[in-house]
Amino acid sequence: MPQCDLSFDCVLQFTRYQLFMNFVRYYPIAGLAFLVLYIWKRKSLWAYKIQDKLPKWEHISREIKQSAVTLVVFSFVGVFVFVLSKMGYLPIKVYRDAEKFGGFPWMIASFVLLTIWHETWFYWAHRLMHHKKIYPHVHLMHHKSVNPTPIAAYNFHWIEAFVEVLYLPIFLCVVPVYFKVMIFHTFYAMILNIIWHFGFEFLPKGFASHPIFKWISTSTHHNMHHQKFNGNYGLYFNFWDRVMGTNFPNYESYYDTVVEKRNLPITKEIPSFAIEEKEVSSLGLGTGKSNT
């Protein structure tokens, strides 16, 4: 990350850094996950597939293209915040002295606080995106991926991408965060978002109903959201959904049904991308429109 006085060259340098950092992190990781799960190891891992079907290539193509829009929005919000902070209009509290604020203990504490804040922001912003007056114009873009792939993680309308990323500068204006902790958080958030869009469930049976682990999200949890739309809004955790009663009632049983498929013999041919995508999954979850 460039450290320089505010000037055209400095802003240009920072813009290049933001675009490079976002694109080079996202596409190789999401793309590798897609290639492994959907191309290379599809047959051997098919028993872990949540929906017993594959998306059309046209949906995957849209996910790739629209993710680029999101990454550009993320980058330019970062540049805008950088410029405003250099001008003294935003009190961004990112620091580089590792010993400041008590050193490592505060690094851990600030990471935990940032994660909690991000989860809270994501949940409530996500519910707002499902409002009937907003959903068709903004969030519908993300929900065109009824059967999402890892590349769907950043498949956002530009307005939603803008709203999604605002949590970070707001937090950084209030709470001091070590620079490397901030970078690790953004990487960690991206990785989990990709995992929740895998379309495959690798966690064990009973995880979704375990007294402790039930508070953590799963790929199945978010996949249900893409299938049924009005529920399962959380990101990292299953806290707000449980507290606010927005989990789908059959989430835990559906999770175990998905996991139990691993022990069943595959009785039909594993589909290829030439097979037309249907609107209803083989496990009986219907689709619908947001009406909240």
Instruction: Give the separation between CA 84 and CA 241, rounded to whole angstroms.
Output: 35
Say if residue 226 is exposed, middle or buried (CB neighbours under 10 Å; 0-12, 13-18, 19+).
buried
pLDDT of residue 8: 87
| pLDDT for position 267 | 73
Which pLDDT tens digit goes with each residue over 67-81? 999 999 999 999 999
Measured CA to CA, the distance from residue 35 to residue 12 in angstroms comes to 34
Report, as an integer, the average pLDDT of 147-170.
96
Look up the pTM and report it.
Answer: 0.88
Question: Residue 67: its pLDDT value, please?
Answer: 97
7 compared with 181, residue with greater pLDDT: 181
Mean pLDDT of 205-215: 96
What would the pLDDT profile of 98-143 be if each residue is shown by its tens digit? Answer: 999 999 999 999 999 999 999 999 999 999 999 999 999 999 999 9
Q: Residue 167: is its pLDDT beyond 70? A: yes
**Mean pLDDT in residue range 184-190:** 96
How confident is the model over 79-107, as pLDDT tens digits?
999 999 999 999 999 999 999 999 999 99
pLDDT of 34 > 90? The answer is yes
Cα Rg of the chain, angstroms: 20
The one-letter amino acid at 112? V
Cα 203 from Cα 211, distance rounded (Å):
15
User: Cβ contacts of residue 3 below 8 Å, gap of 6+?
Assistant: none
The answer to whether residue 229 scores a pLDDT higher than 50 is: yes
Q: What is the pLDDT of residue 170?
A: 97
The structure tokens listed for 124 are: 């409530």
Looking at the predicted structure, is the pLDDT value of residue 146 above 90? yes
Q: What is the pLDDT of residue 210?
A: 97
**Where in the chain are the domains?**
8-263
String of DSSP letters for 156-184 = --HHHHHHHHTHHHHHHTTS-EEHHHHHH
For residue 177, the cross-strand partners are 94
Span 5-20, mean pLDDT?
Answer: 90
The mean pLDDT value for 54-59 works out to 90
Per the prediction, the chain carries an average pLDDT of: 91
Q: Give the separation between CA 239 and CA 119, rounded to whole angstroms.
A: 9
User: What pLDDT does 179 receive?
Assistant: 95
* 230-285 residue pLDDT tens: 999 999 999 999 999 999 999 999 999 999 999 888 777 888 775 444 443 334 44
Q: What residue type is 255 in one-letter code? A: Y
| Banded model confidence at residue 2, pLDDT cuts 50, 70, 90 | low
